[in-house]
Amino acid sequence: MLEKRQQLPQEQLVDTDYFIYCLEAVEDIEIDEVTEAQKKLEQLTKQYGVASIYNTCDTIEGLEDSLNTLVLGDHNFKDYEIIYLIITGEANSICLNDYYYSLQEIAEIFEGRLEGKILHFSNAKVLDLDEEEAQYFLDITGARGISGYGNAHNGITSSSLDIAFFNLFNEDENMLDVVEELHQRHYKLCKLLDFRLYY
């Protein structure tokens, strides 16, 4: 007897030349659970037609592999304007698997490979760089900017503001115009979370 195969509906492909690559740090990549970030990214695609790729990592090697695969393996890499990092850490470091890595170390890993990208950190980590640290990161990686928040999580996640930020980029290429527009539309939240951009 022939088995009847159920055909799954084809995933809707969004016609876009703008993508977001999201990398979230998790305790263990073997545990498969849907995070708030994934839900928000789905909402971004459904509501605004902005496509994204979501990945997880639990070690610095995992972070490096994920970004290397994106940079070297994905022929659409030039279309990813924003690399969205949901990783805990401190002012100028990230924390993976209880180890801290400075943004200088991260810059050296991705030397020259983030050309024209914006690295956006959720408020899972406070982003607080002095001018020298920010300039070093941008010079070494070639990134266009680093954005994030100056205030700690305190029970409010930045995901709604992150999504608003990404959508504004879909409408406007100019990074500074986008940040200005974000502050106009979401002034209270920008102030509360202390949105900041280093470029």
Q: Where are the domains of the chain?
A: 19-198
pLDDT at 165 (0 to 100): 95
Is the CATH number 3.30.360 carried by domain 19-198? no
pLDDT at 16 (0 to 100): 54
Kind plus residue range of the DSSP H or E element containing 179: helix 175-185
- pLDDT digit of tens for each residue in the chain (199 aa)? 433 333 333 333 444 567 899 999 998 988 888 888 899 899 888 988 888 889 999 999 999 999 888 877 766 666 788 999 999 999 999 999 899 999 999 999 999 989 989 999 999 999 999 999 999 999 999 999 999 999 987 788 999 999 999 999 888 888 999 999 999 999 999 999 999 999 9
pLDDT at 24 (0 to 100): 94
Whole-number Å distance between alpha carbons of 104 and 92: 8
Contact between residue 79 and residue 72 where contact means Cβ atoms under 8 Å apart? no
Contact between residue 119 and residue 83 where contact means Cβ atoms under 8 Å apart? yes
HSE-up of residue 174 (Cα within 13 Å, Cβ side): 4
